[in-house]
Amino acid sequence: MTQFISAISLVVPDYDQAISFYVGLMGFDLIEDTELSEDKRWVLVAPPGSTETRLLLAKASNEAQEEVIGEQAGNRVFLFLETYDFDTDFALMERAGVDIIEEPRVESYGKVVVFRDPFGNKWDLIERH
Protein backbone atom coordinates (compact mmCIF):
# COMPACT_ATOMS: atom_id res chain seq x y z
CA MET A 1 0.00 0.00 0.00
CA THR A 2 1.33 3.42 -0.96
CA GLN A 3 0.73 6.33 1.38
CA PHE A 4 1.79 9.97 1.49
CA ILE A 5 1.10 13.08 3.52
CA SER A 6 -1.48 15.04 1.54
CA ALA A 7 -1.57 18.22 3.62
CA ILE A 8 0.05 19.94 6.57
CA SER A 9 -2.00 22.48 8.52
CA LEU A 10 -0.35 25.86 8.88
CA VAL A 11 -2.18 28.10 11.34
CA VAL A 12 -2.39 31.67 10.00
CA PRO A 13 -4.14 34.84 11.19
CA ASP A 14 -5.92 35.53 7.89
CA TYR A 15 -6.62 33.49 4.76
CA ASP A 16 -6.13 36.30 2.25
CA GLN A 17 -2.91 37.53 3.86
CA ALA A 18 -1.53 33.98 3.74
CA ILE A 19 -2.59 33.51 0.10
CA SER A 20 -0.99 36.85 -0.76
CA PHE A 21 2.34 35.68 0.66
CA TYR A 22 2.42 32.06 -0.48
CA VAL A 23 0.82 32.53 -3.90
CA GLY A 24 1.63 36.18 -4.61
CA LEU A 25 5.21 36.42 -3.32
CA MET A 26 6.43 32.83 -3.16
CA GLY A 27 4.81 31.71 -6.42
CA PHE A 28 2.94 28.74 -4.93
CA ASP A 29 -0.11 27.43 -6.76
CA LEU A 30 -3.53 27.99 -5.22
CA ILE A 31 -4.91 24.44 -5.37
CA GLU A 32 -8.24 25.09 -3.69
CA ASP A 33 -10.09 27.87 -1.89
CA THR A 34 -13.52 26.65 -0.83
CA GLU A 35 -15.81 28.46 1.61
CA LEU A 36 -17.00 26.01 4.27
CA SER A 37 -18.89 28.49 6.43
CA GLU A 38 -19.09 32.21 7.02
CA ASP A 39 -15.66 32.25 8.72
CA LYS A 40 -13.99 29.01 7.57
CA ARG A 41 -12.38 28.12 4.25
CA TRP A 42 -10.49 25.11 2.91
CA VAL A 43 -7.39 26.70 1.39
CA LEU A 44 -4.68 24.51 -0.12
CA VAL A 45 -1.47 25.86 -1.63
CA ALA A 46 1.61 24.09 -2.97
CA PRO A 47 4.90 24.95 -4.62
CA PRO A 48 4.79 24.82 -8.42
CA GLY A 49 5.16 21.24 -9.64
CA SER A 50 4.33 19.69 -6.28
CA THR A 51 2.10 16.67 -6.78
CA GLU A 52 1.45 15.32 -3.30
CA THR A 53 1.91 17.43 -0.17
CA ARG A 54 0.02 20.71 0.18
CA LEU A 55 -0.20 23.36 2.87
CA LEU A 56 -3.63 23.76 4.39
CA LEU A 57 -3.83 27.41 5.38
CA ALA A 58 -5.93 27.21 8.54
CA LYS A 59 -7.18 30.48 9.99
CA ALA A 60 -6.88 30.56 13.77
CA SER A 61 -10.35 30.35 15.27
CA ASN A 62 -9.61 30.65 18.99
CA GLU A 63 -7.03 32.03 21.40
CA ALA A 64 -5.07 28.77 21.68
CA GLN A 65 -4.66 28.64 17.89
CA GLU A 66 -3.73 32.31 17.72
CA GLU A 67 -0.97 31.69 20.26
CA VAL A 68 0.76 29.09 18.05
CA ILE A 69 0.86 31.17 14.88
CA GLY A 70 4.50 31.17 13.82
CA GLU A 71 5.48 28.89 16.69
CA GLN A 72 4.17 25.52 15.54
CA ALA A 73 7.74 24.13 15.63
CA GLY A 74 8.88 25.86 18.82
CA ASN A 75 11.10 28.37 16.96
CA ARG A 76 12.81 25.65 14.92
CA VAL A 77 12.70 25.43 11.14
CA PHE A 78 9.22 24.06 10.50
CA LEU A 79 8.97 23.50 6.76
CA PHE A 80 11.52 22.58 4.08
CA LEU A 81 11.17 23.84 0.51
CA GLU A 82 13.35 21.92 -1.93
CA THR A 83 14.43 23.45 -5.22
CA TYR A 84 16.48 22.44 -8.24
CA ASP A 85 17.64 26.05 -8.78
CA PHE A 86 18.66 27.56 -5.45
CA ASP A 87 20.35 30.68 -6.86
CA THR A 88 17.37 31.72 -8.99
CA ASP A 89 14.81 30.99 -6.28
CA PHE A 90 16.87 32.76 -3.63
CA ALA A 91 17.26 35.83 -5.86
CA LEU A 92 13.49 35.90 -6.50
CA MET A 93 12.82 35.68 -2.76
CA GLU A 94 15.23 38.52 -2.04
CA ARG A 95 13.63 40.74 -4.71
CA ALA A 96 10.16 39.94 -3.34
CA GLY A 97 11.23 41.07 0.13
CA VAL A 98 10.98 37.67 1.82
CA ASP A 99 12.48 37.80 5.33
CA ILE A 100 15.84 36.02 4.90
CA ILE A 101 17.17 35.45 8.41
CA GLU A 102 20.68 34.20 7.65
CA GLU A 103 23.19 34.08 4.82
CA PRO A 104 22.96 31.15 2.39
CA ARG A 105 25.43 28.41 3.20
CA VAL A 106 26.72 25.14 1.76
CA GLU A 107 26.26 22.05 3.91
CA SER A 108 27.19 18.43 3.27
CA TYR A 109 23.69 17.86 1.80
CA GLY A 110 23.53 21.01 -0.37
CA LYS A 111 22.85 24.76 -0.41
CA VAL A 112 20.48 26.08 2.23
CA VAL A 113 19.11 29.32 3.61
CA VAL A 114 16.61 29.97 6.39
CA PHE A 115 13.76 32.38 5.78
CA ARG A 116 10.66 33.37 7.71
CA ASP A 117 7.12 33.83 6.47
CA PRO A 118 5.15 36.91 7.64
CA PHE A 119 3.60 34.86 10.44
CA GLY A 120 6.93 33.86 12.05
CA ASN A 121 7.35 30.31 10.69
CA LYS A 122 10.93 29.41 9.79
CA TRP A 123 11.57 27.62 6.52
CA ASP A 124 14.63 26.15 4.81
CA LEU A 125 15.12 26.64 1.09
CA ILE A 126 17.32 23.70 0.05
CA GLU A 127 19.00 22.53 -3.12
CA ARG A 128 20.45 19.07 -2.52
CA HIS A 129 23.70 17.98 -4.15
pLDDT for position 74: 95
pLDDT for position 127: 98
pLDDT for position 32: 98
In this prediction, the residues of the chain whose per-residue pLDDT falls under 70 are none
What separation in angstroms does the CA of 60 have from each of 14, 32, 65, 69, 77? 8, 18, 5, 8, 20
pLDDT for position 114: 98
